[in-house]
Amino acid sequence: MTMSKTSKTSKIMTSSNGLARRDTLSDKLKARSERVRSAPPDTRTREHLVMVLDCSGSMSGVCQRDRETGDVSTKLEALHLAAQTLYDRSVSPASMLRTYLECVVFGTTARFVDPREGGTEILGATNFAVALDLAVDKLKRSAGYASRRIILMSDGQPTDRDPARLWELVREADQYAIVIDTVAFGHDADHALLEEIAKATGGVKHDAITAEELDRSFKQLDTATRGLLGSGFPADDSSRSST
């Protein structure tokens, strides 16, 4: 759900000032690589990944016409296809990365769903914290994986009533070495907030306007992790730079 870009966002960005930023992003990326190298050998190609997908009311809107095909779809339809692509990659026999993929969908509330059902219904407002709470709690109790990661996708401004809670969860993710990658979908996404969340945990932010770009962003985030864990596809052509 899209809100004015002054009230909610400014409050949440102000709250982020309390986040401990002792390490730079490069420090966090280096630490991420070192964690993988020092992980037990039988876990180095294993990842626990949770997609956290914004299914708020604004996702019913039409996304920008695809630049290559000219196709038009709703943002929710585009999200469902991108989530399906990530699921297909996670179960592909050609994949050398063993991914345990889960999915949280959120609006006013949040819940876990089958990853193949991500992006199939509209769920109201845009409550980041209630969704991250589920994902972080699940991942911090997860063991036996060299990588524990969240992909947070949103197209709008957060409607969290307690911005401080959001940053508590980001700090908690960082403390448990949980990386949060983010995808800003469309012009109305809170780009600054998603950038801050990613940087705070050693993640990266991608931007997407069209359905094709959203799908590509999910693929690139998957490919980057495969490169980090040394377990990509035998032939993977989706490693182009982000938009």
Which band of pLDDT confidence, cut at 50, 70 and 90, is reported for residue 45?
A: confident
Q: How confident is the model at residue 29 (pLDDT cuts 50, 70, 90)?
A: low
Q: Evaluate whether residue 1 is within a structural domain.
A: no
* Terminal CA-CA length for the chain: 23
Q: Confirm whether 69 is domain-assigned.
A: yes
Does residue 121 contact residue 55 with C-beta atoms inside 8 Å?
yes
pLDDT at position 46, please?
86
Q: DSSP secondary-structure letter at 74?
A: B
Cα torsion angle, 127, 129, 130, 132, sign = positive
How far apart are alpha carbons 167 and 129 in whole angstroms? 8
User: Residue 116 belongs to what domain range?
Assistant: 44-226
In a domain, 3, yes or no: no
Tokens of 13: 């960005």
User: Domain tally for the chain?
Assistant: 1
pLDDT band at 236 (very low <50, low <70, confident <90, very high): very low
Q: What pLDDT is attached to residue 64?
A: 73
pLDDT in tens, 196-224: 999 999 899 999 999 999 999 999 998 88
Kindly state whether residue 178 falls inside one of the protein's structural domains.
yes
Residue 105: other Cβ atoms inside 10 A: 25
What is the distance between the alpha carbons of residues 35 and 225, in angstroms, rounded to a whole number? Answer: 13
Domain membership of residue 64 (yes or no) is: yes
Residue 110 belongs to what H/E stretch? Answer: strand 110-113
**pLDDT greater than 60 at residue 226:** yes
CATH at residue 62: 3.40.50.410
Residue 241's Cβ-count burial label (10 Å; 0-12, 13-18, 19+) is: exposed
Q: For the packed helices 75-90 and 211-229, what is the interaxial angle rounded to 10 degrees?
A: 30
Cβ–Cβ under 8 Å, residues 178 and 169: no
* Mean pLDDT, residues 24-49: 75
pLDDT tens, position by position, 80-115? 999 999 999 888 877 777 889 999 999 999 999 999
Could you tell me the CA-to-CA distances from 121 to 2, 64, 124, 203, 230 in Å, in that order?
17, 20, 10, 27, 36
Express each pLDDT in 113-169 by its tens digit. Answer: 999 998 889 999 999 999 999 999 999 999 988 889 999 999 999 999 888 999 999
pTM of structure:
0.82
In a domain, 199, yes or no: yes
In a domain, 4, yes or no: no
Whether residue 129 contacts residue 160, with contact meaning beta carbons closer than 8 Å, is answered with yes
Quick check: is 205 in a domain?
Answer: yes
